[in-house]
Amino acid sequence: MDSSGASRFVIRVSHIRKTYGRTVAVDDVSFDVQDGGIFGLIGPNGAGKTTTMECVEGLRTPDRGSISVLGLDPVRDATALHEKIGVQLQEAQLQKRIKVWEAVDLWASLYRRTVDSERLLDQLGLSEKRHAWFMTLSGGQKQRLFIALALINDPEVVFLDELTTGLDPQARRAIWELVRGIRDRGKTVFLTTHLMEEAERLCDRVAIIEHGRIVDVDQPARLVDRHCPERTVVLVTTDGAAAEHLGRVRQVDSVIREDSRITLRGRGDDLVAEVISCLSEHRIRVTDFRTIIPTLEDVFLKLTGHSIRD
Amino acid sequence: MRGLLKLTWLEIKIFLREPLGAFGTVAMPVLAFVGLGRIAGRGLSAAASPGSPANKLVSVGFPVFSTVLIAISAVLSLVTIISIYRESGILKRLRATPLRPLTILTAHVLVKLLLTATTLALMLLAGKRYYPVGVDVPLAKFTLALLFSTLSILSLGFLLSSVVPTARFAQPLGAIILYPMIAVSGLFVPVSSLPPGIQGLARILPITYAVSLLQGIWTHDAWSAHLGDMAALAAAFVLFTAISAKVFRWE
């Protein structure tokens, strides 16, 4: 591997497999994560997200395949790797009666290089909770503490496993902002989530995993374009000729009319623009206009044949 | 090293915050020691000869019984903490840091040894004042013997905590295994007068050697008289630690 290749990819996973007894947790997974940006491993519960991530973190040993993180072997060079990465685990706990500042202080003592812990607590909105016991924190506060612990060593790569599961929407949004902040400081973020909205809003690239295999990897918008190019426009008008005019727009595949409501289906990003120009050309007055653009959720449905919530 | 000291200090603080944590491990053996001595001491008149079996029970049996209790409660406390930490994912989270697994265990062992020494000091202090026959003991040597014994029994605790799946099982199981060991340890009945089968059992349990060592040092024996006991305790420590290192589960 040449040096430029090594610096472009911070994580390289090649054909890993992990079984527990007869259960195949990870069947055959390969992907690369580039330097910088937020990479998401997305899929339903039990798809193999956490097992894959924990293999990359050096907490599990794959039965087969190879992994390289920052040029290190996660199993052989575990201690050296843990010095350079930050980890937040799914459903992790701390000692019930450990205080917030004590946890951060302990973690800071474990690494050679650390950031200022007071500032870190401040950035994560935990300053007021410095003296609170872990067991008294809310779900969102606990997650913010775990993010603090994952950032204390100024890591090059940050691993976040199902970070916002169980949080209310408001806490979730606050955490998203924090994760974007981590990326903006030049770190690579590798996260898992089963929330498609989270992946779509947060991730620069996603890998879709299902039954222990990667189905596809790309930017969320490109995945949508590739697998779900369909676009839908719904509009309401009393103009009787509207349906006929709109049916002639090149990108429109079908027109459905129910009373004054017209549903246009077609494909490609130009559909919406062409529909709008057709409306203005024929001076069609509309009282409602909505576009329905597919999401990662639809991509998932298309690729796996079932909804992620099944 | 910095991590070890910090973790040890932190675990001491957290332990003291546990409701009843300090009471169960520290106060219990002290109370057992003073209580037993006072109850038995009342029946023990000054007329009894200093060498009588009853007198020996109060002056050596009860103190050693109490110190063995100290060791066992330290072990039970360790078993419980390790299984809680495993069950709730604390061990796993610590494992994702540069901290070595051994450091985590060492910190907990240090906490338990410190606790053991503290309890012993309290026991002897209370003994000076309230104990019927008084306490006259080679303190430094006895402390060393107790820490040595505790370490050996702790290694049995490692093994237990390695294989016990949940915290709810750990403490009762530990108690069921550890406390009956006292009965055959030679503390109340000399090992040589036990039935042959039980004698064999007694000879493979570290507590038996701990009792022999502690009784000897309490009655001013020299170390050289107990090299066999110490060798057995050291062997048990090496064996149990080696096995638990092999089978230890972090989650």
ipTM of predicted complex: 0.79
State mean pLDDT over A66-91.
Answer: 94
CA of A32 vs chain B CAs: smallest distance (Å): 22
B50 pLDDT tier (thresholds 50, 70, 90): low
Residue in A59, A83, A97 nearest the CB of B95: A59
**B172 pLDDT higher than 90:** no
The alpha carbon of residue A105 is apart from the nearest alpha carbon of chain B, in Å, by 9
Percent of chain A whose pLDDT exceeds 70: 97
- Closest-CA residue to A149 (of A137, A139, A159): A159
The pairing of strands A286-292 and A230-237 is: antiparallel
- Chain centroid, CA B13 distance in Å: 21
Can you tell me the mean pLDDT for A75-99?
A: 92
Residue A1: predicted pLDDT: 43
A111 contact residues in B (CB cutoff 8 A): 97-98
* Bigger pLDDT: A30 vs B219: A30
pLDDT score at A2:
45
Locate the chain A residue with the closest alpha carbon to B6. Answer: A106
CB atoms within 10 A of CB B187: 24
Mean pLDDT of the residues in chain B: 82
pLDDT band of residue A54 (cuts 50, 70, 90) is very high
Going by pLDDT thresholds of 50, 70 and 90, the confidence category of residue A207 is very high
Alpha carbon distance A137, A129 (integer Å): 8
What pLDDT is recorded for position B248?
78
Residues of A with CB under 8 A from a CB of B: 57-59, 79, 82-83, 87, 89, 91-95, 97-98, 102, 105-107, 109-111, 133, 149
Residue of A55, A104, A106 to mutate, interface with B, max B Cβ within 10 Å: A106
Cβ neighbors of A306 (< 8 A, separation 6 or more) are none
Closest-CA distance of chain A to residue B70, Å: 24
Of A15-19, A185-189, A223-227, B167-171, least confident by mean pLDDT is B167-171
pLDDT band at B52 (very low <50, low <70, confident <90, very high): low
Q: A20 falls in which pLDDT band (50, 70, 90)?
A: very high
Spell out which residues of chain A touch residue B11, defining contact as CB-CB under 8 Å: 95
The answer to whether residue A61 scores a pLDDT higher than 80 is yes
| pTM of the model as a whole | 0.83
Instruction: For A89, name the nearest residue in chain B, comparing CA atoms only.
Output: B93
C-alpha to C-alpha distance for B26 and B122, rounded to whole angstroms: 8
Q: Are strands A213-218 and A85-88 parallel, antiparallel or unpaired?
A: unpaired
CA neighbor of B122 nearest in space, from B35, B31, B56, B39: B31
Tell me what the pLDDT averaged over chain A comes to. 91
Min distance A132 CA to chain B CA atoms (Å): 13
Higher pLDDT, A308 or A144: A144
What is the Cα–Cα distance from A249 to A67, expressed in whole angstroms? 50
Measuring CA to CA, how many Å separate B49 from each of A229, B44, B46, B54? 101, 10, 8, 9
Edge to edge, the sheet with strand A252-258 lists A252-258, A261-267, A230-237, A286-292
Residue of chain B minimizing CA distance to A113: B98
User: What span, in angstroms and rounded, lies between the C-alpha atoms of A167 and A33?
Assistant: 27
Asked whether the predicted pLDDT for residue A3 surpasses 50, the reply is no
Q: Mean pLDDT throughout A3-30?
A: 85
Using DSSP bridges, classify how beta strands A157-161 and A188-193 pair: parallel, antiparallel or unpaired: parallel
Give A302 or B105, the one with higher predicted confidence. Answer: A302
Residue (of A87, A163, A98) closest to A130 by Cα position = A98
Residue with tokens 């370490």: B151
Which is higher by pLDDT, A215 or B55?
Answer: A215
Residue B48 has pLDDT above 70, yes or no: no
Would you say B188 and B61 are in contact if contact means Cβ atoms under 8 Å apart? yes
| pLDDT value at residue A200 | 93
| A18: CB partners within 8 A, 6+ apart | A24, A25, A26, A48, A51, A52, A55, A60, A62, A63
Q: Does the structure show a pLDDT above 90 at B219?
A: no
Q: Contact A92/B100, CB-based, under 8 Å?
A: no
> Averaged over A84-89, what is the pLDDT?
95
pLDDT top residue among B54 and B79:
B79
Cβ–Cβ gap B88/A93 under 8 Å? yes
Q: What is the pLDDT of residues B114-136, one digit of tens each?
A: 888 888 888 888 877 777 666 67
Question: Which alpha helices (DSSP H) does chain A contain, by range?
Answer: 3-8, 49-56, 78-84, 100-110, 117-123, 139-151, 169-184, 196-202, 220-227, 242-247, 270-281, 296-304
pLDDT at B206 > cutoff 60: yes
